[in-house]
Each structure stands twice: as structure tokens, then as C-alpha cells.
Amino acid sequence: IQANHVLQENRAATIEEAKASGAMMLFGEKYGDKVRMIQFGKSIELCGGTHVNNTGAIKKFKLQSEGAVAAGIRRIEAIAGDVAEQWIQQELQELDEIRVVLKSNDALKSIKELQQKVNAFQKQIEELQHAQAMQVKAQWKGQIETIGDRRLLFVETSLDPASIKDICFQLKSENNLFGMVV
């Protein structure tokens, strides 16, 4: 883009001329006797699409996505020109806002530190939930009732489903319970 290559176009090249020039051609495309050959600097291809008069007219270029569309063929989506410039300005503004919120000029470092803290807090929460579940398990163990030839447990709780399930399985295996209603 910055090299500002001027469009060189041959609208009536023969397919042999195009091959000899090294122009990029897509397999599976059907080309007639005459082809449109486009060149910007060293890049040469056969094309029926629109083109800028020189690469400098593109100004900015931002790749948005890329992926495979067929064997050996990639598709890219991008923005360019004023739209790319607007996108860059929005991203810079958002980065400035992130720096203000984080109270740091090194946003990436601050985010990584926050991720580490979140992971540590998550581990603490899991440990506290486990300890709470063990306390609840001890309480529930004392509430097991014998009805006929069955030992049953009836409780009402606001514990999270994963903890309830864990406690129930433990109590069932430890106390030879047949069923539980929670």
C-alpha cells in the first residue's frame, strides 16, 4: 500500500501471455481466449473485479478474518481506507478508556494480573464451597431416617446443584441409602 504501485492493466491478454508473465490464476476458473491481467508492482493476477488506480488509494488496511473456502484457497475479509481509519481510532479510544479503568498505562500487564487474581479467587471459592459442603454433609448425616427397612434422607437446601449431587452420592455410598429427596 505504501509503495503506491500504479495499476497496470491489460484487458486483452491471451491466456498464454498471462501464463508466461506468471500471473496468478485460480484452478477451476474458466478463462476465455482473452483475459484481464492486473498488475501492482510484482503482483500479477487474472481478475474481473474492480481495482484502485494505485495502491496508495487504499490508505489503511485491516484484516478482519481469514479462512479456508476450498482446498488451497483462502478467503480474507478486510476493511480499508476511511473505514479502517475509523476502526483504528475507535480501538485507540477504547484502549485509552481501558487504561483509565485499570489505572495503568500497561493494560496488558494489568489484565494478566487481574486474570491471576480471578483464578486465585475462584480457587478460594471452590475450597470454601467444598468446606461448606462437608459441613452440610455432616448435618445431613445426622438427619438420615429409617422408615421400614429403608434409610432415607429428606432435606431442603439452597446449595448449588453440583454440591448437592456430590454430597448425596457420598452419603448414599457411606450410609447404604436407597434414595434421597432433596
Q: For 109-139, how does the pLDDT look when each residue is reduced to its tens digit (9 = 90+)?
A: 999 999 999 999 999 998 998 888 889 889 9
Q: Would you say 99 and 111 are in contact if contact means Cβ atoms under 8 Å apart?
A: no
Judge whether residue 178 has pLDDT over 80. Answer: no
| Helix/strand/coil percentages in the chain, nearest 5 | 45, 25, 25
For residue 41, what are the CA distances in angstroms to 1, 55, 56, 96, 124?
10, 9, 12, 38, 60
Q: For 6-58, how does the pLDDT look when each residue is reduced to its tens digit (9 = 90+)?
A: 999 988 888 888 888 888 887 666 777 888 899 999 989 888 777 889 999 99
- Tell me the average pLDDT across 57-84: 90
Higher pLDDT, residue 17 or 90: 90
Judge whether residue 182 has pLDDT over 60. Answer: no
Q: What is the pTM of this model?
A: 0.59
CA–CA distance, 167 with 133 (Å, rounded to integer)? 7
